Chains A and B, each alone.
Chain A
């Protein structure tokens, strides 16, 4: 059987997820025998346009990038969103709650019109996608697992559990008991609760579980000393786009 051809693309992002892909090869160099990488601009000059699986990192944040996304969708059998920017809009969407003109002028002054932009959005808001590998950045083990699934003809599966379950399984002391706050109760697990393990509360980079009880969590955050501004800030590091969608559907508090 011919090796599946895979390609990597990036839009508005830090390219950290693709670096994590490179890092995953440190422990799994055999992956290079199982697939043929035909395009990976950050790491190689060769450029093939014939591919079956496309991994896309980054948000779409300007109209001009939509054509490229459509082209990728047409060429690839499977399109996988790689990381929080592609999956959720990521940190790029923080500015979506701010007036766009203010944001542009703050950064580029009177030259703002030189640089095209529009509100940042996940890839799925532009083209249909087949699967996501969540996280900021992606977890390298989950990436290897996902590729293994894809090579077996299956789509990667992410259990609909909150981070708290994995955190408890690790035996961590809850960060709320250390005087911090955490979005673990409403955030999709799969990261092995890495942030609480290293002493920081979850910021929700993997996105919301299917039925998040946001009002209850707001109450908990307020009980732990956060004012409205702090709660909003906490819930908009990675979740701005998802929450704006929920609000539009009137499912947010």
Chain B
């Protein structure tokens, strides 16, 4: 056995959203401390919604996160619509899904190219790559720009969406915009293939730790908006019973809450979605997974980025299908669907880039009286720490720098969104 003393203290981990520290303390081969400390300032979003008109919720909660603003807005709208008995039109469902793909693409491309790839290419950021691998950087920027333009055509901008409202939209893309986006998405397919080829060459670290994977599931499609909560350990739950799955608890070293379901921890995000919903992927996305060696039942958290690349393929191909449906129907200028009632409780659930997100609101006479948001990164924190505890003893023979890098890459693989996850819980709805 290695008798080694190592201290790792990464203050404010870079290339992640928000502020986190990695602290590992190994004394004579024994792991004394192993924490991902969340030192982001508390945000208090749930408290701030109380007393406000229900229509404010999506505007304010989209500000929880600049990267997944559309995801928060969509989840917020679904919670409010469920509470107030609103059934969105088919056109709204299609537009929201297309808009959502824009965000999935934007976030995954940012993560795969700008936050993750530098680790494999031995640089500190994407900026030096602009000189050494300009084609890769230009490809990333081109793909990211199209993702943002997709959102902009539908909701005005990706950060923070404008035209998304309770019951529908306040603005609609033109037929010309949809044709133009479709042509650009077609042209992007070669970039998607190049992305898959790039990730075939990157040496993803070998590390396996079995855990519970949780994602939304639907019979009809690879689910991003709505569905049933499903676990690889078995079991399904309606989204209204989300608290039975998340079981949040506070720990002193994190301003974001931890979560646990059937084991000590669980994982959400692209890898969880892939493990739960692999059979629903677009055939081209399944082919991409095969090419990169990603198989259902994968227990290597570093493969989360590979699963994101699979979803880049899925979202690109399915966006083209969605645009074709919208063009076939023709875009109608629809007024938002009015509420059936002004009081009620509702939960919205979406698979935002980093995993399953819940918003729950209690509304009375049109005003929010209770709110709760449960963020993917918060749900992953306990699982990340469990991975760190399993990984450190396996790599103790390496140098301190290599141990640090392996841990940083592990945390980055989860694509944590830290300013999102610090907020928290409303304890009870009396």
Contacts and interface: CB of A to CB of B under 8 A. Distances in A.
B81 interface: no
A237 B160 CA distance: 14
Contact of A92 (B43, B144, B252, B425): B43
Nearest to B63: A91
9 smallest CB-CB distances across A and B, nearest first, come from A16-B66, A199-B170, A44-B125, A198-B156, A45-B124, A198-B162, A16-B159, A94-B48, A199-B171
Nearest to B146: A26
Contacts of A25: 141
B16 A108 contact: no
Nearest to A65: B41
Contacts of B127: 32, 37, 43-44
A35 B53 CA distance: 45
B217 interface: no
A230 interface: yes
Interface stretch (A110-118, A122-130, A161-169, A216-224): A110-118
Q: Is the interface of A mostly helix, strand, loop or mixed?
A: helix
Given A102-B47, A137-B66, A195-B162, 12 more contacts: A12-B43, A16-B63, A16-B160, A19-B110, A26-B144, A44-B125, A45-B14, A95-B48, A106-B426, A117-B44, A230-B53, A233-B56
B15 interface: yes
B276 interface: no
A40 B41 CA distance: 18
B95 interface: no
Contacts of A199: 162-163, 169-171
A17 B250 CA distance: 29
Interface residues of A, number: 59
Contacts of A77: none
B329 to A, nearest CB: 20
Contacts of A233: 51-53, 56
A142 interface: no
Interface in A15-47: 15-20, 22-23, 25-27, 29, 32, 37, 40-47
A117 B41 contact: yes
A15 B41 CA distance: 13
A115 B47 CA distance: 15
B424 interface: yes
Contacts of B67: 15-16, 19
Q: Is the interface of B mostly helix, strand, loop or mixed?
A: loop
Contact of A108 (B51, B118, B250, B367): B250
B76 interface: no
A40 B126 CA distance: 11
Given A25-B141, A26-B144, A32-B127, A203 B59 contact: yes
Contacts of B48: 91, 94-95, 98, 103
Contact of B170 (A94, A200, A229): A200
Contacts of B43: 12, 92
A65 B130 CA distance: 34
* Residue with the highest number of chain A CB atoms closer than 10 Å, among B118, B157, B255, B420: B157
A14 B124 contact: no
A29 B14 contact: no
* Residue with the highest number of chain B CB atoms closer than 10 Å, among A12, A16, A94: A16
Contacts of A47: 14
Nearest to B18: A15
A187 interface: no
Contacts of B427: 106, 109
Interface in B107-164: 110, 114-115, 118, 124-127, 130, 141, 144-145, 148, 155-157, 159-160, 162-163
